[in-house]
Amino acid sequence: MDNVLVLVRHGQSEWNKRNLFTGWRDPDLTEQGVEEAHKAGQLLKAQGIVFDVAYTSALHRAQRTLDIILENLGQSDLAVTKDKALNERDYGELSGLNKDEARDQWGADQILLWRRSYDVPPPGGESLKDTAARVLPYYKKFIWPDVKAGKNVIVAAHGNSIRALIMYLEELTAQQILEREVATGVPMVYRLTMHGHVEDYKSLVA
C-alpha cells in the first residue's frame, strides 16, 4: 500500500482518565493508553502497512504513542518529525481543570459552547478554528508533499488537531466535524489521490 496517510490520536492519558482539560499540558499515558498504542501498532502491522515518514506533536503523550506503534511495526528507527503545530487545542484557562468543576464555575451551557462550537475559544485558549489555522498550513507544507510523493505517512497527534485534518480531508462542515468522535488509540487509514482527495478510508478497531 502506498499514498497512505494514517491519523491516530494518542492513547488514554492520565488527564483523560481524571476528566481534566488537557490542551498543551503534558501528562503521560495511563496503562490503558499504553495498551491502546500497542493495539494500534498491531492492527497496522496486520494491514501490512510500512511507513516512510512519521509526524507527531511536541507533547509526550502523542510522542510515546507513536514510539509504541513503531516498536510494534519493527520501525523504531524511522525518522520522526515533532512539531507544536500538531499540538492539541490550547484550552487556556480551562487547562488542568476538572470538567465538572469547570461547569460549576462557568455554567454547563458556557462550557458546552467552548467545547462544541467551531469558532468560540475559551478564555486565553483556542477554538477548533484556531487549531485548524495552525494544523492545516503545516499539513499542506510538510505532510501532504510526502503523501503526494507516494510515501506512507503516520501522524500521531490529538483529538482536535486530528479533527482539523479530518475536516479538511473529508470536506466536512463545521457542524459535521463537531459531531465526529475521535477515539484514543484508533488508527484512521486514508488512501489519497494525487490531488489529495480521499479515495478510501477505514478505521482500524480490534
pLDDT in tens, 152-185: 999 999 999 999 999 999 999 999 998 899 999 9
The secondary structure of the chain as a DSSP string is: --SEEEEEEPPPBHHHHTTB--TT----B-HHHHHHHHHHHHHHHHTT---SEEEE-SSHHHHHHHHHHHHHTT-TTS-EEE-GGGSPPP-GGGTT-BHHHHHHHH-HHHHHHHHH-SS-PPTTS--HHHHHHHHHHHIIIIIHHHHHTT--EEEEE-HHHHHHHHHHHHT--HHHHHT----TT--EEEEE-TTS-EEEEEE---
> Does the active-site annotation cover 158?
no
Q: What is the pLDDT of residue 1?
A: 64
Q: Is 10 a known active-site residue?
A: yes
- Where are the chain's structural domains? 4-91+128-203
The residue from 36, 88, 126, 158 that is catalytic is 88
pLDDT means per 10 residues, the chain with 206 residues, are 90 95 96 98 97 98 98 97 98 94 94 93 97 98 96 97 97 92 97 94 90
Q: What confidence score (pLDDT) does residue 113 get?
A: 93
4-91+128-203 is a CATH 3.40.50.1240 domain: yes
Q: Which of 10, 36, 126, 158 is catalytic?
A: 10
The burial of 100, by beta-carbon neighbours within 10 Å (0-12 exposed, 13-18 middle, 19 or more buried), is given as exposed
